[in-house]
Amino acid sequence: MNDSLQNQYGYASGGLAADRQRVLRNTYWLLALSLVPTVLGAWIGVSTGLFAMMRPGMSMLVFFIGAFGLMFVIEKTKDSAAGVAALLAFTFFMGLMLSRMIGFVLGFRNGTSLVMTAFGGTAAVFFTMATLASVIKRDLSTMGKFLTVGAVVLFVACIANFFLQSSALMLTILVMMLGVFSAFMLYDIKRVIDGGETNYISATLNIYLDLYNVFQSLLSLLGIFGGDRD
């Protein structure tokens, strides 16, 4: 009887661990795939200068409508193959929106180097957070509330600075974004490992947004402090 129970619970535990590993593996594969349309979108945006010609207010409006609209579609289709297509469409759109900043940085003499440094720094943050998430045994679920509050504060600050145009506030926002979304990356990966997120499309979206914001923050800071126009 005891042996039967042990075998039953051992099988259940092993099956649960296998499911979590499957979700994590699918998340990483889809995350890697999502970078392809992001790069394509950024390249098209830089090549055409489409968003560089837009007024900042119009660009922000397009971003909010496109990003939140596509995220809504992803949420509605996340349990089907259509969710993958919606996610890839979203990452393509985010690449387009990133092209304005990339085009600006590429205007520096060392622009290509700055973009590659930001990419390398983002990859380093990801591998560090993924490693930490795999070795930390402590439950990090309580981090979610604090990080969400931090993200909301940053969102409001970004909207406010659109009108204030404060350099000091912008630097503060960028540094805080780097910290908050690096921590979010740890939290989101840990949730998948612990079984808190069982849908790999939702997991990919969350981690992708973390990566996107870390890259954007790093690139902006590098452009501000390391850009060379001589």
In this prediction, residue 9 carries a pLDDT of 47
In this prediction, residue 4 carries a pLDDT of 52
pLDDT digits (tens, 9 = 90+) for 6-20: 555 444 556 677 888
pLDDT digits (tens, 9 = 90+) for 173-187: 999 999 999 999 999
Rg, Å, the chain Cα set: 20
Q: What is the pLDDT confidence band of residue 88, given thresholds at 50, 70 and 90?
A: very high
More confident residue, 7 or 100: 100
In this prediction, residue 18 carries a pLDDT of 85
Rounded CA gap, 200 and 126, in Å?
17
pTM: 0.91
Give the largest CA-CA distance in the chain. Answer: 79
Distances (CA, A) of 86 to 45, 72, 79, 177, 201: 20, 10, 12, 26, 10
Domain count, the chain: 1
Domain residues for the domain of 131 are 2-226
Q: What is the mean pLDDT of residues 204-227?
A: 94
Rounded CA gap, 198 and 130, in Å?
17
For residue 57 the two structure tokens come to 């207010």
In 49-142, which residue ranges form alpha helices assigned H by DSSP?
A: 56-77, 81-106, 111-135
pLDDT digits (tens, 9 = 90+) for 30-81: 999 999 999 999 999 999 987 777 787 788 889 999 999 999 999 999 999 9
